[in-house]
A and B are shown apart, each in its own frame.
Chain A
Amino acid sequence: MRRASILLALSVSASADAYALEIAGDITADGRVFLAAPRHLGQRLGTAPSVAISPIAYVQSDDLTHTLTVQPFLRVDAADSARTHWDLRQADYQYADGGFSFGLGVGTFTTGVLDTHRVVDVVNQRDLVEDLDGSKKLGQPYLGLGYATGPFAFSLQYLPYHRARTFPGERGRLRFPLLVDDEEVLYESKLGPWHPSFAARASVSAGAFDVGLSGFSGLSREPRFFGQIFDTQAVVPQYDFLQQAAVDAQWTLDGLIFKGEAAARWWSKDLRFFVAAGGGAEYHFYDVFESGADIGFLAEYHFDGRAPDAPVTFFDNDVVGGVRVAINDTGDTQILAGVVRDLNNQATYVRAQAFRRFGERWRASVEARFFLGQEGQLESGLLDDDYLQGSLAYYF
């Protein structure tokens, strides 16, 4: 079977450079300004610069049958040594032929349909020190098999090693009063981080409907915390067993989208049961007043029925509202703003961002995050951590 060269941009003839090495990625400088003095013992002001580099190097055959990818990540942070960290986001070989696929190495995987919190998305550990919102993930060692045909896609993953979550250090902002011990990690399994996990997913796309069924068995990526006898300022994370069966669905209409996710979870060796679910809607106005700009509105609700001694979650009974404005200019200027409000304790998280590209290789962004609420709640550890951030990224 003859296939076309996907590396058309570089190739004169498909076979001549079918295995050319490509390098891309970005280097980003951030500056953060915290608006209030720190509240926790040991914290520094944290108003400081930070630099991150995220290159991606890959070799791909012209027909996409063979793909070798290496994507490291490194951040150097002047304010918090725990935020100075590196990771392999991806380092894997992928094989694909027809609808069949195979992958081996380290990868980052994202499933689910909601924007602010996805209960089905449990394969990768979160790089929490990189971003409090959990949007950044640590690379996950995996062996995967996939099959796609017609409207269906199936995948199976064997996940031999568990990555522990990253947390801010003693001097860092955006943390809770008690430090998370980064040297000690507890596991419910005797095998520790080597206790294997398995993930399976089947999805179908039929017309306006996309539905996915997924299962997970192994170690939870969410920790719970235990106090220490000798160090009253620090806690130790423990990762328990987790079994999960989940469904996600999306109904996509012209400009209007409905989304939902639900997970049944059995956590710890005692298989303690709870349900976590979320739903939302998105609506887009295109070409507003013939300006070319788009405005999108987002609403989501998250519920989580876990017991108080289970790993903590912010999204126990929360509503989300958001707006996105895309100017559709040559710089792809975008403005995003969103609010997450906990209906149980009225803790509120406000975030606003704006992006713009300059030329072909530069991108600037500004961002503000605010934490509102009362004392004595899970979220109140962040009450003094309102901050502004400016970033400049160069893409190579």
Chain B
Amino acid sequence: MKKSTMIAVASAALLATPVALAALDRGEEIAKKIAAANVGYGDMSAHLEMILEDAEGQSSRRVMRVKSLERPAADEGDLSLVVFESPRDVKGMALLSHAGVLDSDEQWLYLPAAKRVRRISGGNTSGPFVGSEFAYEDITGTEVAKYAWRFVGEGACPVGSGKCFELESRPKYDKSGYSRRVVWVDEAAYRVQKIDFYDRREALLKTLTYKNYEKHGRFWRAGEWEMKNHQSGKKTRLVFSKFSFDNGFDASDFHRSVLKRIR
């Protein structure tokens, strides 16, 4: 349950990290525009259903409530809270994250069976998030500055219609499970359409496809994320619903002391 800024999942928060660079690759310019398209969302909450399918088509399901608060300061990431509703043995389990940009995230886990708040450590980047095909870094590793970007080209989007930019990003942080990611983003609204993940041996490992984009105010959110693991044949779908913005959250809604009241 580490490094799971699922809110970042929820908000597709590709956070802008203002880093002064002398010469920007065109790929990095585009990456910054993707991030900029999400600045100013304020706060949000959503309902998330995670469907895990193995190669034989057997599936299991997880249900979570997620909410997040944007922190405008450049050196602070967002605040987020994930509460599990199902499977029922983890109902009420809650993960609170105060994301860092340059520092690692601060995270607290609430275990309802023990009624105990535990400070937990980050450091798990390439491991799976709650048994899914999503690694922690797929959820948290979205800041522009965490990658070296390269512009590959442009053409028809691989999913949906319209024209897309194709970018390559290589992780600059330690312990990544990937050598590189290939990202397709549409030219019209800078919405990420598809990401191919290559493992450390440069073999295609996973493909993430974003579906059912809808506009909430001026922000686009994908209603469904589908991650397919080409090596294991397993698949995880994240289905979002009940997106709600401008909820009036403040920092006190994301203090570790609220975890005791989570049900």
Contact = CB atoms under 8 A, between A and B. Distances in A.
B113 to A, nearest CB: 9
Interface residues of B, number: 58
B255 interface: yes
A360 B106 contact: no
A330 B52 contact: yes
B46 A8 contact: yes
Interface in B52-109: 52, 54, 60-61, 63, 65, 67, 83, 85-92, 103-104, 106
A3 B247 contact: yes
A99 B252 contact: yes
Contact of B88 (A6, A253, A287, A360): A360
B36 interface: no
A150 B257 CA distance: 11
Contacts of A190: none
Interface string A131-169: 000010000000000101110010000000000000000
Contact of B115 (A3, A110, A153): A110
B252 A254 contact: no
Contact of A254 (B116, B123, B126): B123
Contact of A24 (B45, B92, B126, B130): B92
Given A4-B247, A255-B123, A287 B86 contact: no
Interface in B102-137: 103-104, 106, 114-116, 119-128, 130-131
Interface string A375-396: 0000000000000000001011
A47 interface: no
Contacts of A284: 121, 123-124
Contacts of B92: 24
Given A207-B106, A254-B104, A26 B247 contact: no
A205 B88 contact: no
B117 to A, nearest CB: 8
Nearest to B132: A330
A257 interface: yes
A72 to B, nearest CB: 15
A308 interface: no
Interface string A20-61: 001010100000000000000000000000000000101010
A69 B177 CA distance: 43
A9 interface: yes
B126 A286 contact: yes
B123 A64 contact: no
Given A99-B255, A153-B257, A210 B119 contact: yes
Interface of B: 2, 43, 45-47, 52, 54, 60-61, 63, 65, 67, 83, 85-92, 103-104, 106, 114-116, 119-128, 130-131, 175, 177, 242, 244, 246-253, 255-258, 261-263
The 7 closest A-B pairs by CB, nearest first: A254-B123, A4-B247, A395-B88, A255-B123, A286-B124, A2-B248, A148-B257
